[in-house]
Amino acid sequence: MFGVLNVHQLKFVESRDVGGAVRAFRFQPDTDLGWVAGQHGLLRLPGMKVKPFTIASAPEEECVVIGTSLLSASAYKRRLGALTVGDRVTFHGPLMNFTLGDDELDVVMLAQGVGITPFRAMLRARALGDAQASTTTLVHVASDHAFRSDTEADATAGLYPHHAAEFAEIVEALARKRPNAAYLIAGQRRFVTSAASLLADAGVGRGQIRRDTYLGYTPRGDST
């Protein structure tokens, strides 16, 4: 909660398409944000209210990356898409604790659509850092998979279903095979609730399941 009092200035560097109708925006911070992979913050554009975004980059990358769809064409998204190199924005955070502990060595990440962003950060952090060897399995359900080249390279195993039924089969099989793993879920509320229920029904304990719910997010295609 108190992270919102930490205010940082960021300079816009570039944006690029990363698949799944998601655009990644890269910023250079004036000061060290001191974030842990998986955390998020509030981004304020000039003349706009703040909006929450997960930081999709690892601290080791020394830049702040956010990923979002511009398809809604809201005033905020239009302003974000119109940023030019050198523009400055304000970032409040880091916030929340949807993060991995150093002792969590068997991890399953379940993502829907743009919910891939915290996992892109976590996987990059483990790939670039000095953490112990770990097993990381990513299951990303989407009509098209944002950040796929990054997550495929960094995860021990990456699975990329397009539909809910296929996703459910994969998750149930993983839960039966690895009931003691840490399970992290990120996406819209219905997806998060459904995935958590699948895990619980397969015997995964509540304490092994963590959630990051994206309020107001509507995925593209049949990925719920």
pLDDT in tens, 55-99: 999 999 999 999 999 998 899 999 999 999 999 999 999 999 999
- Number of other residues whose CB lies within 10 A of the CB of residue 96: 17
Question: Do both 121 and 71 map to the same domain?
Answer: no
Within a domain: 15: yes
Q: How many residues does the chain have?
A: 224
Question: Do both 86 and 158 map to the same domain?
Answer: no
- Number of other residues whose CB lies within 10 A of the CB of residue 69: 17
Within a domain: 157: yes
Within a domain: 220: no
Confidence (pLDDT) at 139: 99
Pairing of strands 135-141, 50-54: unpaired
Confidence (pLDDT) at 214: 86
The two tokens of residue 215 are 């309020």
Residue 81 is part of which domain span?
2-95
The whole-number average pLDDT for the span 192-218 is 91
Tell me the angle at which helices 164-177 and 189-201 cross, rounded to the nearest 10 degrees. 40
Looking at the chain, the whole-number percentage of residues with pLDDT higher than 90 is 89
Confidence (pLDDT) at 2: 53
Total of domains in the chain: 2
Confidence (pLDDT) at 222: 42
Confidence (pLDDT) at 224: 44
Question: Do both 53 and 131 map to the same domain?
Answer: no
Asked whether the predicted pLDDT for residue 42 surpasses 60, the reply is: yes
CA torsion 14→4→22→220, rounded to 10°?
Answer: -170
The whole-number average pLDDT for the span 42-52 is 96
Mean pLDDT of the chain: 94
Asked whether the predicted pLDDT for residue 206 surpasses 70, the reply is: yes
Question: Do both 115 and 183 map to the same domain?
Answer: yes
Cα separation values, 35 from 20, 107, 195, Å: 26, 20, 27
Within a domain: 223: no
Confidence (pLDDT) at 218: 60
From 95, 130, 155, the end of a domain falls on 95
The whole-number average pLDDT for the span 172-182 is 97
The whole-number average pLDDT for the span 193-201 is 97
Question: Do both 161 and 137 map to the same domain?
Answer: yes
Asked whether the predicted pLDDT for residue 220 surpasses 60, the reply is: no
Confidence of residue 217 (pLDDT cuts 50, 70, 90): low
- Provide the b/e sequence for 131-151 (b: ≥16 CB within 10 Å): eeeeebbbbbbbeebbbbebb
From 44, 67, 95, the end of a domain falls on 95
Question: Tens digits of per-residue pLDDT, 109-160?
Answer: 999 999 999 999 999 999 998 777 799 999 999 999 999 999 999 999 999 9
Within a domain: 191: yes
